[in-house]
Amino acid sequence: MLAALLAATLVFSEADAARAYATAEGLVAGHTPRDAGTAEGFAAATYLMDRASAAGGDVRRDRFTAATPRGTKGFTNLECAVVASDERPWVVYLSHYDTKAGVDCPGANDGASTSGLLVALTGVLARHRRDLPFNVLLVWTDGEECFGRYAPNDGFWGARRAAARLVASGRTVKAVIGLDMLGDRDLQIILPHNATPRLRQAVLAAAKTAGVADKVAATGDCVKDDHQEFLRAGFPAVELIDFDYGSRPGLNDYWHTPQDTMDKISAESLLVAGRLALAVLGELR
Ligand SMILES: [Zn+2]
């Protein structure tokens, strides 16, 4: 019932997908590279903040410092709360916006695509604030990418920070939904195994409601990404990612390379991802 009701009101349109794509395009064109802890990264955050504010979001910067293998660095997360009512539980959407240092990667798909998607989602959610069954927090994380190997002081800095802030807030959280690499023209979304089982089921149900079931599959594989830090902090979390990104299946040769450019992603894929992301709201109990 809730799913059908929401499907009728919370529509992610082709214009929303075009906004997601255009935002990713502007991020890549104007802010590449945008490695964690750099001035370019801070400028990238400002660009996204301006776009999400223009979409109707109430966006705040969260600047913080953290230890890294290259010394202490400054990071910038963005948070946008869309509040339906004070009593409602929260749903959190995540996208990182930083690029991988040292590999000359524009991150059109890896970072920019879902950061543009969050801006477009901000617009839809802000327009339908009063119809929402949950309060929604959108978080653009800095420092998802590690310098070397993922470790407690390397990678996921923004997610660790955002998860700690969420714990401190005392908010009731229904779901944390990680979004990454969902702009791929050849989109095949997987739900990695390292997730809360009921949320994987909710996403599969949402895929049917949204009419994109052929694009989504659960997998037994684990994927390290920002959502992991929320699981670690005790929140229910799930990850939507297309981790096969290359010139041929299995090759992954566009990932973390100079090949990760705008021509490899499409507004059509972002339309699928946006519809799926919103439909999940109708499947949470
Ligand atoms: Zn990456």
| Structural domains in the chain plus CATH codes | 2-283 (3.40.630.10)
* 181 alpha carbon – ligand 1 mean position (Å): 8
- The tens digit of pLDDT for each residue in 194-217 reads 999 999 999 999 999 999 999 999
CB atoms within 5 A of ion ligand 1 belong to 110
Residue 1 has pLDDT above 70, yes or no: no
User: What is d(CA 137, CA 177) in angstroms, rounded to the nearest whole number?
Assistant: 10
* 89 alpha carbon – ligand 1 mean position (Å): 30
Strand bridging mode 90-96 / 173-180: parallel
Give the tokens for residue 65: 């410092």
* 277 alpha carbon – ligand 1 mean position (Å): 20
Nearest Cα to 280, choosing from 190, 198, 183, 182?
Answer: 198
Give the tokens for residue 282: 């109708």
* 58 alpha carbon – ligand 1 mean position (Å): 27
* 7 alpha carbon – ligand 1 mean position (Å): 32
Name the band, by pLDDT with cuts 50, 70 and 90, for residue 6.
confident
* 183 alpha carbon – ligand 1 mean position (Å): 13
Name the band, by pLDDT with cuts 50, 70 and 90, for residue 9.
confident
User: What is d(CA 244, CA 83) in angstroms, rounded to the nearest whole number?
Assistant: 35
* 11 alpha carbon – ligand 1 mean position (Å): 29
* 231 alpha carbon – ligand 1 mean position (Å): 19
pLDDT of residue 3: 78
* 19 alpha carbon – ligand 1 mean position (Å): 22
- The tens digit of pLDDT for each residue in 78-129 reads 999 999 998 899 999 999 999 999 999 999 999 999 999 999 999 999 999 9
Residues 6+ apart with CB under 8 A from 146: 154, 155, 156
* 272 alpha carbon – ligand 1 mean position (Å): 21
Give the tokens for residue 94: 């995540």
* 225 alpha carbon – ligand 1 mean position (Å): 9
User: What is d(CA 206, CA 275) in angstroms, rounded to the nearest whole number?
Assistant: 9
- The tens digit of pLDDT for each residue in 216-250 reads 999 999 999 999 999 999 999 999 999 999 999 99
Asked whether the bond before 69 is cis by omega within 30 degrees of 0, the reply is no
The H or E element that residue 135 is part of is: strand 135-141
**174 within 8 A of 90, measured Cβ to Cβ:** yes
Average confidence (pLDDT) over 146-168? 95
* 103 alpha carbon – ligand 1 mean position (Å): 10
